[in-house]
Amino acid sequence: MNGIKKTGPGILVCFALAVPAWLLGKRFPLIGGAVLAILGGMLLTMVWTNKGRAEAGIRFTSKYVLQAAVVLLGFGLNLGVILKTGRQSLPIIVCTIATALLLAWGLQRALRISGNIATLVGVGSSICGGSAIAATAPVIDANDDEVAQAISVIFFFNVLAAIFFPILGRVLGFDTGSGTAFGVFAGTAINDTSSVTAAASTWDSMWKLGTDTLDTAVTVKLTRTLAIIPITLALSVYRAKQAAKAGGEQNGFQLRRAFPMFILYFILAALITTVALQAGVSSAAFRPLKELSKFCIVMAMAAIGLNSNVVKLIRSGGKPLLLGAVCWAGITCVSLLMQQFMGLR
């Protein structure tokens, strides 16, 4: 009961924002409910600066409701299709991650940015936004200010991606009869799971593709998220060696902290679906869960909009913003080039 009292007000606020955004998104699919929810949350937070009792529920919605949406999306997905999509996108994922990390390393020296901030922006851009930053921060001993700065930079470009990537996809001439190509693009080029799902949902709405794009994009993004483990392990080993040379102590790598457990639940949901389909259950049985997943995404976008402070970020984060922009542009270009090379477009 205490948990409901603590998170209930914020969850209700996100729900109240999500309902009109969801309905308007169906009426205006070119914009989409996810984007409307983000913008609504951002506008509201400009006048509602002290969220008081609602703050805990807003944080809960932005993290756990989004994770629930991803797990629900696993229902209706065949495990064989997930493995095929993940394997198909792996070369693009490797190249985009390498590009972002190299750019972050080079620009950290050129712009004289804090090494910790550069590392956090690099892993946040290349892997999975806030989750990668949260997993990496204790390994490199980043302080709260550095973590907040990096997350703000990643969030800024997440919002831009959610709004503009569907427009970019249309300008670049992505296939509108299937969501595969744009799903791979969104899954490999957008930083955070939240904006991946928002952009993919908008593309599905624009071209009436059901959840075709969303299925592909989430599968690709979750494959990419697994890179948290080797990257965090490598950073842990590197920092441990540095600490040993300096005679100090170093926080070690922890698999439980680095691995996003909701990925396992997503795979379990897909496994249940695969077994059910083999047993003769109609795929239509999973449609209500997919619709619920899409609504949960809109709720999470409302929460993310409510958590934003774009004005403060622009005022305080010039160099980190530039670093984030370069990493984002590099990832986007490499994703497009790799898709062209592999014949996915």
- pLDDT tens digits along 222-249: 888 878 778 877 777 777 677 666 665 5
Q: What is the pLDDT of residues 318-344, one digit of tens each?
A: 788 899 999 999 999 999 999 999 887
Spatial neighbors of 110 by CB under 8 A, at least 6 apart, are: none
Place of tokens 């991650």: 97
Is the pLDDT at 43 greater than 70? The verdict is yes
Q: Are 77 and 270 in contact (CB under 8 A)?
A: yes
Handedness of CA 109, 115, 119, 121 (dihedral sign): negative
Residue 107 has φ and ψ, to the nearest 5°, of -75, -25
Q: What is the pLDDT of residues 103-123, one digit of tens each?
A: 999 999 888 888 888 998 999
Is the pLDDT at 153 greater than 60? The verdict is yes
How far is 281 from 176, CA to CA, in rounded Å?
29
What angle in degrees, to the nearest 10, is found between the helix axes of 33-47 and 2-27?
Answer: 120
Place 217 in a pLDDT band, splitting at 50, 70 and 90. Answer: very high
How far is 123 from 227, CA to CA, in rounded Å?
9
**pLDDT given at position 314:** 64
**pLDDT given at position 42:** 82
Both tokens of residue 154? 């990643």
Q: What is the mean pLDDT of the chain?
A: 83
How far is 143 from 150, CA to CA, in rounded Å?
11
